[in-house]
Structure 1
Amino acid sequence: MNETLATVLVGIFGITGSLLLLSSALAMFRVRDSLSRINVFSPATGLGMPLIVVAAYVFDLHASGFDWVSLLMAVVAVLCLIIVSSVASNTLARSAVLSGQPVFRKTSPNRLAQPPVGAEDVEPGTDRP
């Protein structure tokens, strides 16, 4: 791989991933409730971190040449970041809602403000009426 091409690709992927992480971190200071913070952090872990892994792989590809183990490690790392990001965001959001964390009053649309349809007929602590 040409050195200029490798440097440009590493720079593009690395800087883009870093800017996504930085913008998500800065946005976390602006939001007011835990659900919004979880929502803001998802792009950083779902897109920013995989871009940094791709940048590291391109650098390794240029420095050491092609290696199946290195490619497999990069693919597994990207897939794990995407899967863990999705599962973690869902789990954190569910725990925040179930713990009774308040949602910021200006959050719009706020679908958590009203109970789900049919929830008034369900006994507390059960799934049946």
Structure 2
Amino acid sequence: MLDAFIAGGFGMYPTLLAGLGLLTACLRYARRPEARHVPLMLCLGLFTLMAGALGFVTGVMAMLRGFGTSAGNVRPEVVLSLGLQESLHNIALALLLVTLSVLAASVGAWRLSHRVSPPVPA
């Protein structure tokens, strides 16, 4: 797992920070569901996905830069395969963190929907 994180490059750090913030917010929502937490969860979820996408794009850019300066004896298929694999680690981390967070938020939504409300006086 640490190898995949290191292989993902610099983009893994903002993705991890955003994803951990999202997971924390969703766990708090699961424990004590309140509607005021929903905008924060949505923003952090979007931030996590965008950070993963940005890490992917910068990884592809670095791969293409390296591909242009590589020696003639390196096969293009190998460079593209390894470069894309390393770039996709950012997307995978973002999707993993968002999936875990959505599971936690689903627990909070379920608890909120099953909350017994007091009867309204007539």
TM-score where L is the length of structure 1: 0.44
Higher RCO, 1 vs 2 (CA within 8 Å, ≥6 residues apart): 2
TM-score normalised by structure 2 residue count: 0.46
| Larger helix proportion of the pair | 2
